[in-house]
Amino acid sequence: MAVRLFEFLSSLSGALDLMSPEVVGHHKRVAYVAARLGKLLGASREERTELFMAALLHDVGGFSRQSRLAALSFETDGGRHAELGYRLLRTNPLLESTAVIVRHHHTAHSRLSSFDEPERKLFLAGVLNLADRVDALTCRQEKKDPAQVMSRLGQRAGELFDPLALEALGQFVGDPEFWAQLAGEDPTSALSGDTGLFQEHGMSRAQLMQASTAFSQIIDFRSRFTATHSRGVAETAVCLAEKAGLSANDQTAMRLAGDLHDLGKLAVPTEIIDKPGPLDADELAVMRRHPELGEAILASVPGLGRVATWASQHHEQPGGQGYPRRISGSELSLGSRIMTVADVFTALREDRPYRAGLTTNKVMRILGDLARNAALDPELVSLATRHQDELDQRRRQAQATAAEEFHQFYSGLPAL
């Protein structure tokens, strides 16, 4: 699988904006502004890469719709979502260089020097802060007014914002071309000629796994009810793929599909995910859009075609009674059918707010019933039954690891 880091992050950053129409495109616009500022401010190639990646992910810790909207108001302390973002990124070898930048993207310029962090990271955080505020000020304006933007930001020069960064902004804020690019579907594509930023090769397998793990946490850690779900599904799916004789490459794709199968749930506010009672019809409709939303994003990443298909069909059923497309029979690829079995198996073994996880034997009986009703592939269910102990042991181990990471993630943080 040849997947490039920027293409992966850039597409998946779009998933972070699905939660609310008010923030659509926010991450890419901020990344574009930050990249322009970083270049003018003489940041090194490495620094600009870190800044760009940090910008693509900067509000990743804003789990609820409410926190996202709050982050878009001009005066925001943003402390909690910046801290959660930092915690999500700092443990991932691929993304750790962005963690401190994200942590301080709402820290006032005048306070930055009081933190015991590398000076250049804090400088980049200041650049990200300014880029973020440019979009917060203008994203809902029909007609952009550069003079007003500069005067509003300029009033807080030295206090909230780095005067040097403001000066750099002043160099292009009046250029209509800048605003035209910012209004485009993907402003970061305007940076593609910026070779200092985009000289990158495809990700190694290890890097791809790291990116995949990061997003499984982003998807799962939003709610304690789903905290380890994707990792359990991924491990179960890989184990089944192995037993079904899929190639090593396909097994890698299967792990990605498992980690990312609920990507579209980033569009579902935590207010719905954590709702203690049954969902009403509108909430259910929001929830049921997640496979399609996830597919649109994954399919836009060059190299992830199979992953997009397998991930997005995890609620389809061989008998055609699944959703969203009611695909049936041989039109459902083996990978998709594996994903469905892995999803149901994992979900039934997990504790839910309204019931404890079922025993493996009970789960296998339910899978058998589902296979007889054409809701699951019978051959895969019998394969799973033959290997049920290994399957469950590996799932349990993967979820125990994810649970430990989840615990670390929230430790020492005040509850909301």
Q: Footprint of Fe ion on this chain (CB under 5 A)?
A: 59, 71, 78, 132, 262
Of the pair 132, 186, the CB lying nearest Fe ion is at 132
- DSSP state, residue 20: -
> Which CB atom, from 38 or from 78, has the smaller least distance to Fe ion?
78
> CB 245 → Fe ion: shortest distance, Å?
26
Q: List C-alpha distances in Å: 97 to 14, 118, 188, 260.
A: 21, 11, 20, 23
- Pick between residue 262 and residue 377 the one whose CB is nearest to Fe ion: 262
User: Least distance to Fe ion from the beta carbon of 364, Å?
Assistant: 21
In angstroms, what is the minimal distance from the CB of 398 to Fe ion?
17
Q: Which is nearer to Fe ion, 26 or 306 (CB)?
A: 26
Residue 71 or 191: the one with the smaller Cβ distance to Fe ion is 71
Are 364 and 385 in contact by the 8 Å Cβ rule? The answer is yes
- Separation of alpha carbons 339 and 334, rounded Å: 9
Q: What is the largest CA-CA distance in the chain?
A: 69
Q: Least distance to Fe ion from the beta carbon of 78, Å?
A: 5
Distance between CA atoms of residues 137 and 154, nearest Å: 13
CB of 102 to Fe ion, least distance (A): 8
Closest-by-Cβ residue to Fe ion is 71
- The torsion angles phi and psi of 352, rounded to 5 degrees, stand at -120, 160
Is the CB of 131 or the CB of 197 nearer to Fe ion? 131
Spatial separation of the C-alpha atoms in residues 148 and 76, rounded to whole Å: 20
Cis peptide leading into 187, omega within 30 of 0?
no
**For residues 109 and 132, what is the distance between their CA atoms, to the nearest angstrom?**
14
Minimum CB–partner distance for residue 247 and Fe ion (Å): 26
